[in-house]
Amino acid sequence: MIRVSIVAPSLAVRAGLRSLLTDELFEIVGESAKLGVDETGEEPDVVIWFPASSVAAELIDLEIERQGSGSTAALLLIHDDPNMIGKLAQLHLRAWGLLPQEFSQAEINAAVRALNEGLVVVNPLWIQSLNPRQVPESDDSDHMVEPLTGREMEILQLLALGLTNKQIASRLGVSAHTVKFHVSSIFGKMGTTNRTETVKLGLRKGLILL
């Protein structure tokens, strides 16, 4: 099981987040209005944090740095400011992620699973906000024929977890044939011929961050 704790100032937001976490592997072990407040005594594997937008920057500086120091939990921050990537990257967290507030149910479920595996989760469109030295370099051989779709990005992330087509299909609620189609499309767009090569290229291009 993946133990998940939800942090949000509003009871309605916490209930909404809880309703979206549909993966049978998830167990909600805690809910609170403020980061760092442990109401259950049980250590979560992943903390989902949806802060009040008006105080998000202050909380990042004051709370998350204190929480992140030595923390074994992975942190998923729901916020629309890509500048938070730099702050999260500096913390001593096992893994971290940043999702925009307009996320899908599939995206948050995939994000929690990825964070539990120690991966970093970031909206690909926000990668350019990182310091250039933090962005994996690529050469001409890394040129992609065509950008990946949102669904393909999601499947690429699951490929990085080592899941089979059947396992990915089960996670996403689609057929294995559909997953096979998307995987073939990913290979074609990225100019690769197998999963290992595809994941390595995804890492170099910043589509998957470790």
pLDDT in tens, 41-74: 578 999 999 987 666 665 665 555 555 555 568 8
Would you say residue 164 lies in a domain?
yes
pTM flag (> 0.85): no
123 and 159 belong to one structural domain? no
Total Cβ atoms within 10 A of residue 9: 14
Would you say residue 209 lies in a domain?
no
pLDDT digits (tens, 9 = 90+) for 147-176: 888 888 889 988 888 888 999 999 888 899
123 and 146 belong to one structural domain? no
Q: Which of 99, 128, 157 is the last residue of a domain?
A: 128
Q: Which of 106, 128, 150 is the last residue of a domain?
A: 128
Q: Return the SS3 of 139.
A: coil
Would you say residue 210 lies in a domain?
no
100 and 156 belong to one structural domain? no
- The total number of residues written for the chain in this structure: 210
Pick from 184, 159, 185: nearest CA to 172? 159
145 and 121 belong to one structural domain? no
Q: Number of structural domains, the chain?
A: 2
Question: Residues 137-144: contacts with CB within 8 Å, 24+ apart?
Answer: 137/204, 138/204, 138/205, 142/201, 142/204, 142/205, 143/191, 144/189, 144/190, 144/191, 144/205
Average pLDDT over residues 177-188: 92
112 and 71 belong to one structural domain? yes
pLDDT of 83 reads 77
Q: Which of 128, 153, 177 is the last residue of a domain?
A: 128
Would you say residue 103 lies in a domain?
yes
pLDDT digits (tens, 9 = 90+) for 10-21: 999 999 999 999
Q: Residue 122 pLDDT > 80, yes or no?
A: yes
Domain that holds residue 56: 2-128
